Amino acid sequence: MLDIIATDNRTLNVLTLAKKVAAFNVPVLIQGETGTGKEYISKYIHANAFAECQDAPYIGVNCAAIPENMLESTLFGYEKGAFTGATNTVAGKLELANKGTLLLDEIGELPLALQAKLLRVLQENKVERLGGHRQINLTFRLIACTNKNLEKEVAEGRFREDLFYRLNVVHIDVPPLRERQADILPLAEHFIQKYTSMLGRNVKLSESARRSLTTHQWPGNIRELENTIQRGMIMNRDGVVYPDMLGIPQTAPIRHAEPMLTESAAVAPTTANPVSAAPGDLRLHGRFAQYEYIADLMRTYQGNKSKIADLLGITPRALRYRLASMRKYGIEIFS
């Protein structure tokens, strides 16, 4: 069974809902910011749904990571000779997920034309490979993930309303890490254990480093936390990680008794966002926190989009969408 680090009540509530829905084969839509662990929730549902069937396939498709001209053949498969270069018959991801789980990650990036074709497959429970004429029966558990507000995407004509309602039978909202504060230190300790073998020595967090971790807003969520812990472990002094080694802004002065490393200050985000959100709008504040973090990374890595996308755990294409959105809000971007 998949183990998930969960201490905070909000995370435990998400897992309770995920376990409950695993007993029923209905579509699930998981929404949350980038890096919150949506795919882990998807795997958790699959593990609980197929606890008695270890061979059930789990097939994940990142709709943002595959070029649009290849996405259709990836999903639906194709027959030999269907197009130039199709030298063999290849089963699509929908077909490979039969009798298991299909995860459509970044579903909000799916082009409108493919949304219509996917909807038809879901309605008929059948798929036809490109260039083929035989319909293949499908039975799989469908889970879709997105960091977008699909209701807004529907309203603005970028996502089909009928597909949205088809996917949104059960909705799971994964809170950002800043709203799951009790999870931060257990996750940090988990990552320390994960990377201990890489260093070949035991490393621990100083008390001030633990305070820094719990007060940081984590715009990059769990992925940012993992990267931060890796950095701190590499920069450790005598097996101890201090706040200045983490590369995150400090909310209070660091005690002089603790060693200082100047390299970490060079990559700490320092920019202020010119856009202000209403005090009660947590979702908007979270979005701007993400934008500030990305803007700082753009300056730190001199606009290297491949490097930044890798650090954020997203595709370069998804990063371009975020940069375009940032420009709309008037946020300065390194170029």
Tell me what the mean pLDDT of segment 65-84 comes to: 90
pLDDT at 191 over 50: yes
Fold of 9-175: Rossmann fold (3.40.50)
Q: Can you list the alpha helix ranges (DSSP code H) found in the chain?
A: 9-21, 38-49, 68-76, 93-96, 112-124, 150-155, 161-167, 184-199, 207-215, 221-234, 262-265, 282-300, 305-312, 316-328
Looking at residue 252, its pLDDT comes to 44
User: Looking at the predicted structure, is the pLDDT value of residue 69 above 70?
Assistant: yes
Architecture per CATH, domain 178-265, reads as Orthogonal Bundle (1.10)
Chain mean position to CA 17: 19
More confident of the two residues 317 and 167: 167
Residue 140: name the closest of 36, 236, 215, 58 by CA: 58
Mean pLDDT of the chain: 85
DSSP string across 297-329: HHHHTTT-HHHHHHHHTS-HHHHHHHHHHHHHT
Residue 271 pLDDT greater than 70, yes or no: no
Give dist(CA 154, CA 164) in Å, integer: 8
β-pairing, 141-146 vs 28-31, is parallel
Comparing 1-10, 43-52, 159-168, the range with the smallest average pLDDT is 1-10
Structure letter (DSSP) for residue 244: G
**What ranges do the domains of the chain cover?**
9-175, 178-265, 282-328
Per-residue pLDDT tens digits for 104-153: 999 999 999 999 999 999 999 999 999 888 999 999 999 999 999 999 99
> pLDDT at position 52, please?
87
Q: Would residue 211 be called left, alpha or beta, if left means φ above 0 and alpha means ψ between -120 and 50 degrees?
A: alpha
pLDDT score recorded for residue 126: 94
Q: How are beta strands 126-128 and 135-137 bridged, if at all?
A: antiparallel
3-state secondary structure of 181: helix
Per-residue confidence band for 176, with pLDDT thresholds at 50, 70 and 90: very high
Contact 17, 46 (CB under 8 A): no
List, for residues 8-40, the tens digit of each pLDDT value.
999 999 999 999 999 999 999 999 999 999 999
Q: Can you read off the two tokens belonging to residue 164? A: 């949205």
